[in-house]
Amino acid sequence: MLKENFVDTIGASINKHWDVSCFSDLNGETITYGELAHRIFRIHYIIAEAGLKKGDRVGLAGRNSANWCVTYLAAVTCGAVIVPILPDFKSAEIEHLVRHSECKLLFVPDSIHDRLDEDKMQSLRGIFHLGDFSLAWSRDKKLPGVVDAAEAGYRERYETMLADHKVRFPQVSNADMAAIVYTSGTTGFSKGVMLTGNALIANILYFLSCIELAPGDNVVSFLPLAHAFGCAFDFLAPMAAGCHITYIEKIPTPKVLVAAFAAHPPVYVMSVPLVIEKIYRNRIKPILETPKVKLMLKVPGINKLVYKKIHDQIYEVFGGRFKEMVIGGAAINKDIEDFFRKIGLRMTCGYGMTECGPLMSYTVYDELPPVGSVGKIIPYLEGRIHKPDPNTGIGEVQVRGENLMLGYYNDEEATAETINPEGWLMTGDLGRLDEEGHLYLTGRSKNMILTTSGQNVYPEEIESQLNNLPCVEESLILENDGKLLALVYPDLESVDRACLKGKQVETLMEENRKSLNVKLPGFSQIARLKVLYEEFEKTPTKKIKRRLYNALS
């Protein structure tokens, strides 16, 4: 158990940075750390007067906002368990998760509340408007009176601490459950990951040891906060350091993001691979393929100037101040990673799962491993490759340690299938370790295809190469009657730029298939390719939901 306490860390940051800007909504209000304390204590008052006890669950659904973060912090700092719910879930799924986690209170925007049926969530005592914390609905007759008295009540109860800027929250052990985070699921139903304060503080401490942050530093948050990746590193870690975080509520377009970065230049950028890969394919690659630039890149000295210009342009797109760009949520294309290293962009990669809150390994920029590695296992965990193949060294990645989940809420069977008796988390990811301890991922064990000749095919490795070919946005490799089928979604911007029409797109994709097969071993060659004209359905971190496409094979 770590000596740094999660709840105490939140309180210490508030006290230390009282007058510093804390949270802002894009084009909305800004609150300071002191004002954050007021909002937290108002909710504390309501939770206490409503009769909630330590360990009771508080549900939270909505897009990124200052009040989303206020609600989260208010719950965990009084010993309640926060239950973040992705706003993109359908009504029936949200109702199911509220029932499953037995939430007593629920904080949601009107857009979500309007489509929920309270009769299907019998554990709830009340629902609150996330926009202003007013009471939207109540099953508990005394709750309206509690809310009416909250403004004066919290000021009286916590007057001394607020006046002296010395916030003290109730003692909450790191061993206690702090959050139930429901996985967005690429392979099946959502499971409730039980994370302790210890798991959350381990992620915070490690991140702050890698990226130096100062009070008032800007962070722009656009990854979904209900997902462990965005929550840990676009919210909890920078909040602990006294940063000013600006939240983009709606799913951001590139135009919105660029404007936000210009207005609030961030000290680091958190992104998923899809965002940075689109920038490369649509903005950078076309320039690199022009005859003039191709020639310049062959001339020593001149090529360095070209790379520097591209580096500076990317740097300015993201606000011109960032110390590091952190890629997570999925694997980044190796060729694109190699290019960004070549131009000197400070880009690092992380690997994790919700079950570790989320971080398991990281590539520290000053100690970068070879391209394709996701770095070394973080110090709070130990890792191993279970039953590695004697020829390739590939086996299942397993970890255990400080930031491992308690298990899946109310699902002992799933917990036993994921954590073995020795405490190892069986990730389901396949990978290998080199002699220096750098981890390389090859794909999901469930995705691995065993050919009729007995060869193992890792579809993610083929997809990575296929995605680099002309006019390809994304792809999936599936098994079809013992052979490999490629589903391809075209890069429509590149298609338009190339003036391709109708069957020309399918002709180009067939040429891509043939050219890639020349580079692939016989057992992993693509037998057939099918073009899709609707984007793949994805999780909030932009992973393709593979299980939805198995039927197409």
Listed in sequence order, the DSSP H helices in 241-360 are 254-263, 273-279, 285-288, 291-297, 302-317, 334-342
pLDDT higher than threshold 70 for residue 363? yes
User: What span, in angstroms and rounded, lies between the C-alpha atoms of 80 and 78?
Assistant: 6
Res. 544 pLDDT band, cuts 50 70 90: confident
Average pLDDT over residues 208-219: 96
Q: Are 443 and 430 in contact (CB under 8 A)?
A: yes
Residue from 357, 327, 347, 328 nearest 231 by CA: 357
Radius of gyration of the chain (CA): 24
Of residues 145 and 459, the one with the higher pLDDT is: 145
Model pLDDT, residue 460: 86
pLDDT higher than threshold 60 for residue 553? no
User: Which single residue is written with the structure tokens 């002191």?
Assistant: 34
Model pLDDT, residue 68: 98
- DSSP annotation of 171 reads P
φ and ψ at 371, to 5 degrees? -55, 140
pLDDT higher than threshold 70 for residue 185? no
Model pLDDT, residue 483: 87
CA distances from 531 to 333, 461, 508, 551 (A): 21, 19, 10, 15
Beta-carbon contacts of 222 under 8 Å, excluding residues fewer than 6 positions away, are: 64, 234, 248, 252, 257, 260
Model pLDDT, residue 186: 41
pLDDT higher than threshold 70 for residue 399? yes
Model pLDDT, residue 27: 87
Model pLDDT, residue 66: 97
Model pLDDT, residue 250: 74
User: What span, in angstroms and rounded, lies between the C-alpha atoms of 365 and 9?
Assistant: 26
* Least confident segment among 109-113, 160-164, 328-332, 527-531: 328-332
pLDDT higher than threshold 90 for residue 361? yes
Question: Is 401 buried (19+), middle (13-18) or exposed (0-12) by CB count in 10 A?
Answer: buried
pLDDT tens digits, 281-317: 777 888 888 899 989 988 988 999 999 999 998 899 8
Rounded (10°) CA dihedral 36, 39, 43, 44 = 60
User: What span, in angstroms and rounded, lies between the C-alpha atoms of 27 and 164?
Assistant: 31
pLDDT tens digits, 19-59: 999 999 998 999 999 999 999 999 999 999 999 999 999 99
CA 33, 362, 478 angle in degrees (round to 5)?
115
SS3 476: strand
Average pLDDT over residues 311-324: 90
pLDDT higher than threshold 90 for residue 211? yes
pLDDT higher than threshold 80 for residue 331? no
pLDDT higher than threshold 80 for residue 462? yes
Average pLDDT over residues 104-132: 97
CA 284, 290, 296 angle in degrees (round to 5)?
95
pLDDT tens digits, 229-267: 999 999 999 999 999 999 998 766 777 888 899 999 999
Q: Are 355 and 414 in contact (CB under 8 A)?
A: no
Q: Are 169 and 78 in contact (CB under 8 A)?
A: yes
Model pLDDT, residue 272: 82
All structural domains of the chain: 6-247 (3.40.50.12780), 268-320+323-401+423-444 (3.40.50.12780), 449-552 (3.30.300.30)
Q: For all residues of the chain together, what is the average pLDDT? A: 91
Model pLDDT, residue 33: 98
Total-model pTM: 0.85
Model pLDDT, residue 479: 87
